[in-house]
Amino acid sequence: MTRLSRPRRLSAGLAATALVLTTLGAATAASAVPAPTAAAAEPGPLMNYVVNTKASPGHVRKVENAVKAAGGTVLVSYGQIGVVVAQSTNPDFKTALKSGRDGREVQSVGATRTAAVTDGTTATSAAAPAGAASELETAATPVPDPRESEQWDLTQIKADQAHAITDGSRKVLVGINDSGVDDAHPDLAPNFDAKDSVNCTTNGVPDRTVGAWRPTTSDHGTHVAGTVAAARNGVGIVGVAPGVRIASVKVVNDSGFIYPEYAICGFIWSAERHMDVTNHSYFIDPYEYWCKDGADQGAVQEAVRRAVAYATDSGVLAVAAAGNSNYDLANKTTDTGSPNDTTPVTRTIDNNCLNMPTELPHVITVAAFQKDGTRAAFSNFGLNKIDVTAPGRTILSTLPGGGYGTKSGTSMASPHVAGVAALMKSAHPWWGPLQIESALRKQADDVACPAVIDARCTGTTANNAFAGEGLVDALDAVKRGW
């Protein structure tokens, strides 16, 4: 990516073992295991791993035992998807894991990063106060907020017209999976749901300490949140879906990295908290493209795929930024920026290497357009890779501390689509993720390839490499005739 959609530095991403865990719900089966009984004679760097097994409590317990026997510690287990997140200083951990009595239960194992773990040494768990959101529908007669006239992006996707019908339902919850949300911002506080917010950036272990979901080094998540659901309250701006609720799912650490265990925690959390839509304006570090045939990368790709599938099956629609590398996702050849947590190398890749989560099944991939209706030069593209497009250049939204500012990137395009999906769910509460996914594509307004021939824009007016199925349409989203 050109990094515009990345919260870190803001560049590539977008700290101890936590043994006090928060229960995600009856189905989560998150657990901590006592200190390992075996250790490598010559300890190596502290590393985190995902271990994949069959999705059953029995298989997961055996893998937890195998982790201990190999000199590791279980950080969190997800029995519902058969994924265990472990930590170890044993440099031969992967080999030792598979060689023990319970090692036959291990389907695959992979390190989640190339740099040593520096996540915090402690974590506390405290229930956040319940949000005060009502269950009432918002009024259908919009009253402009002071800076709404500056929001050309809302007009471009017809959100202003949609608001004449509805601002969205309080029953709809959108997860902002990002760098944290300033819940005290006057345009966000009315719609913020504290009880469903979490911080996943300590080894992927959910931390519900009050305020842990807030931003510390990045304003990215707060900006994204405003585009989705800044309230219609006579202050500042208005979001695409100003009547829905939002929760902060913090998956970006203070250095700006989004490691796989953070993202997995976020997807499982969204499923267990019954979110309707989640926005993901990031790619998972440290690889911009995770290759299926790579030993570590393949295991991580499978673990994240399972988490996304579980969230989808649980009723959550994931919307993600396409990326800012001006790269053809349908014709991958090289990757020069990975791994970004140590020393990047130039490597040959192909279409089995995925930008995650945006290229995973049933994740809505969003490209960025600009005010004149053309593709933003930084936006990734690709025939049958891009689902829809949305405004993504010079977008006005909320910033921490009660401020406002503009940002550019596919990070800014994605929350427009998340907002439209929230409006769609409000108008059609019986729809699940697959129905919303289909409707987003069908309702999008066709965008032709540029008049000046660009060989990269393959496909047709109805579906092409630059715009996918077209510009997302908020007005059609709230019409009940679909």
Question: Taking a C-beta distance cutoff of 8 angstroms, is the pair 257, 286 a contact?
Answer: yes
Report whether 432 contacts 27 (CB < 8 A): no
Locate 126 and state its tokens: 């405290």
d(CA 398, CA 412): 12
Asked if 178 and 184 touch (Cβ cutoff 8 Å), the reply is no
Question: Structure tokens of 313?
Answer: 């099956």
Q: Where are the extended beta strands (E) located within 284-338?
A: 290-291, 317-321, 334-338
What single DSSP character describes residue 435?
Answer: H
Kindly give the pairing relationship between strand 334-338 and strand 345-348.
antiparallel
Instruction: Please tell me the CATH code under which domain 148-477 is placed.
Output: 3.40.50.200
The number of beta carbons lying within 10 Å of the beta carbon of residue 109 is 27
Give the residues across from 290 on adjacent strands. 354
> Can you name the residues that pair with 368 across neighbouring β-strands?
390
Instruction: Name residue 327's amino acid.
Output: Y
Query: Omega before 286 cis (within 30°)?
Result: yes
163 counts as catalytic: no
The phi, psi pair for 306, rounded to 5°, reads -65, -40
243 Cβ neighbours under 8 A, 6+ residues apart = 137, 138, 166, 167, 168, 169, 170, 191, 229, 232, 426
Domain 19-118 annotated CATH 3.20.14? no
Q: Is the peptide bond before 129 cis (omega within 30 degrees of 0)?
A: no
Instruction: Tell me if residue 341 is catalytic.
Output: no
CA–CA distances in Å: residue 211 to residues 204, 251, 461: 17, 14, 46
How far apart are alpha carbons 250 and 263 in whole angstroms?
Answer: 9
- What does each of the 482 residues of the chain score in pLDDT, given as a tens digit? 333 344 333 333 333 322 222 233 333 334 444 444 444 458 999 999 999 999 999 999 999 999 999 999 999 999 999 999 999 999 999 999 999 899 999 999 999 999 999 997 433 333 322 222 222 233 445 678 999 999 999 999 999 999 999 999 999 999 999 999 999 999 999 999 999 999 999 999 999 999 999 999 999 999 999 999 999 999 999 999 999 999 999 999 999 999 999 999 999 999 999 999 999 999 999 999 999 988 899 999 999 999 999 999 999 999 999 999 999 999 999 999 999 999 999 999 999 999 999 999 999 999 999 999 999 999 999 999 999 999 999 999 999 999 999 999 999 999 999 999 999 999 999 999 999 999 999 999 999 999 999 999 999 999 999 999 999 999 999 996 65
Catalytic residue among 397, 411, 414, 426: 411
Catalytic residue among 163, 185, 220, 416: 220
- Burial of residue 428 (CB within 10 Å: 0-12, 13-18, 19+) is middle
For CA atoms 35, 38, 44, 50, the dihedral sign is: negative
Give 328's strand partners. Answer: 381
Whether residue 390 contacts residue 208, with contact meaning beta carbons closer than 8 Å, is answered with no
In tens, the pLDDT along 399-423 reads 999 999 999 999 999 999 999 999 9
Maximum distance among all Cα pairs of the chain, rounded to whole angstroms: 70
What are the structural domain ranges in the chain?
19-118, 148-477
Strand partners, 247: 175
**Beta partners for residue 202, in sequence order:** 205
Nearest to 50 by CA among 134, 127, 106, 123: 106
How far the first Cα of the chain sits from its last, in Å, is 36
Q: Is 408 a catalytic residue?
A: no
According to DSSP H, which parts of 143-237 are helical?
Answer: 152-156, 159-162, 220-229
Token pair 């047709």 is found at 460
Tokens read off for 49: 């791993």
- Which letter, b or e, does each residue of 315-350 get, where b requires 16 or more Cβ atoms within 10 Å of its Cβ? bbbbbbbbbbbebbbbebeebebbbbbeebeeeebe
Say what the pTM is. 0.89
421 touches 157 (CB < 8 A):
no
Annotated active-site residue in 178, 207, 219, 335: 178
